[in-house]
């Protein structure tokens, strides 16, 4: 018997070490509700450490109640209900301090099928995080509706006018209308592409197809495209420092990152846009610098959030570009940050590892 208890304690200790790595809060009680263990995430969520809770009744420590004030533990009723019951669905609950959480429970039985409850495993998640996600989704729907309305209204207006009064317009007037329709259709296409990227990033379904990518060559191609579209050639400066390692990246997605950062520097910055490509100890660092006003340090953590716009007075864009850039870089195993550049403007710096080719 003594050996069995020792093994059980060893298993429980191993369990405590493992559950501390879980992102959700976890509290384990006996069938009567006395706390056996509390993981690190639960302490972070509630402010109650394990040594404050172990041995006490969960009702006295956490005191979860629903929005009608009912005692959640009493409602759980570990001594009642069917012998086949093994879980309590996730519910929105509150602590006495008013903190909202989503709490669920698993009833551990011995024997597993139809046996008595021996432990209760309680999981908890911050309701505020979920509320922020829901607000973000609501903002996304609102932004999409707003961004789509303007070009679609324009397309509808011009096409209806052309269909109704085709013979009344000159060829030049028709050309202007059709060019406007084409530009607005491109705008809708870009928005839909951004939304698909956001969806893949948030769901973890973003696929990376690696090949050898010459980053300076990709930068130069984007510069050439912008110059051909009318930008002054002197607006851009490409600097390559040192010998670069071979990098295996998704070329289309790296092009998307570079184009977005350079567009951002042109739109919100001033002066020369400098792109510096240099090796680091595990890959390549790319810095995109402008000579504008820069980004205040207190806003540096916000720029990669959805719908962030550097200047509310400046129209254009959905505010999703930098969020997508961050997702694309992280999907490569890299990182991105923003800081004050050496000439006072903003400097976006991302690092990507050398990577390896994809194998089927």
Domain containing 264 — which CATH number?
3.30.565.10
Band (pLDDT 50/70/90 cuts) for residue 278 is: very high
> Is the predicted pLDDT of residue 5 greater than 70, yes or no?
no
Q: How many other β-carbons are positioned within 10 Å of the β-carbon of residue 295?
A: 20
The residue that leads in pLDDT, 238 or 271, is 238
CA nearest 114: which of 147, 138, 87, 85? Answer: 85
In this prediction, residue 90 carries a pLDDT of 87
From residue 236, how far is each of 229, 239, 240, 290 by CA, in Å?
A: 14, 10, 13, 10
Output Rg (C-alpha) for the chain, integer angstroms: 28
Does any domain span residue 118? yes
Does some domain include residue 229? yes
Q: Which domain holds residue 191?
A: 131-203
Give yes or no for a contact between 48 and 41, defined as CB atoms under 8 angstroms apart: no
Q: Are residues 187 and 291 in the same domain?
A: no
- Out of 203, 228, 254, a domain closes at 203
Q: Are residues 215 and 199 in the same domain?
A: no
Buried b (16+ CB within 10 A) or exposed e, 275-284: bbbebeeebb
pTM (2 decimals)? 0.60
Evaluate whether residue 67 is within a structural domain.
Answer: yes
Mean pLDDT of 184-204: 81
Domains contained in the chain, number: 3
Percent of all residues in the chain with a pLDDT value above 90, rounded to a whole number: 43
Which whole-number Å values give the CA distances from 23 to 19, 99, 113, 337, in the listed order? 9, 18, 29, 25
Residues 194 and 216 in one domain: no
Same domain, 220 and 346: yes
């Amino acid at each position: 018997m003594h050996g069995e208890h020792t093994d059980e304690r060893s298993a429980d200790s191993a369990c405590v070490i493992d559950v501390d790595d879980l992102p959700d809060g976890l509290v384990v009680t006996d069938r009567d509700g006395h706390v056996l263990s509390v993981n690190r995430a639960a302490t972070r969520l509630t402010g109650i450490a394990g040594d404050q809770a172990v041995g006490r009744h969960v009702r006295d420590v956490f005191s979860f109640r629903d929005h009608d004030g009912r005692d959640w533990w009493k409602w759980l009723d570990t001594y009642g209900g069917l012998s086949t019951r093994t879980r309590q669905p996730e519910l929105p609950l509150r602590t006495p301090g008013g903190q909202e959480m989503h709490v669920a429970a698993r009833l551990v039985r011995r024997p597993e099928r139809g046996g008595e409850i021996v432990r209760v495993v309680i999981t908890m998640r911050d309701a505020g995080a979920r509320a922020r996600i829901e607000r973000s989704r609501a903002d996304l729907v609102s932004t999409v509706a707003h961004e789509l309305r303007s070009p679609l209204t324009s397309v509808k207006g011009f096409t209806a006018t052309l269909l109704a009064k085709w013979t009344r317009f000159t060829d030049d007037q028709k050309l202007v209308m059709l060019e406007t329709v084409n530009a607005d259709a491109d705008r809708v296409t870009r928005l839909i592409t951004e939304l698909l990227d956001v969806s893949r990033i948030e769901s973890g379904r973003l696929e990376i197809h690696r090949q050898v990518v010459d980053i300076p060559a990709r930068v130069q191609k984007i510069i050439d495209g912008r110059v051909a579209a009318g930008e002054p050639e002197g607006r851009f400066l490409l600097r390559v420092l040192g010998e670069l390692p071979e990098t295996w990246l998704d070329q289309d997605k790296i092009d998307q990152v570079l184009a977005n950062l350079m567009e951002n520097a042109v739109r919100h910055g001033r002066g020369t846009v400098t792109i510096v490509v240099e090796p680091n100890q595990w890959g390549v660092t790319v810095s995109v610098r402008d000579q504008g006003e820069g980004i205040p340090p207190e806003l540096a953590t916000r720029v990669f959030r959805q719908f962030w716009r550097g200047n509310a007075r400046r129209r254009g864009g959905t505010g999703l570009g930098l969020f997508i850039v961050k997702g694309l870089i992280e999907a490569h195993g890299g990182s991105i940050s923003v800081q004050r550049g050496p000439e006072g403007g903003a400097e976006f710096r991302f690092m990507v590892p050398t990577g390896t080719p994809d194998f089927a």
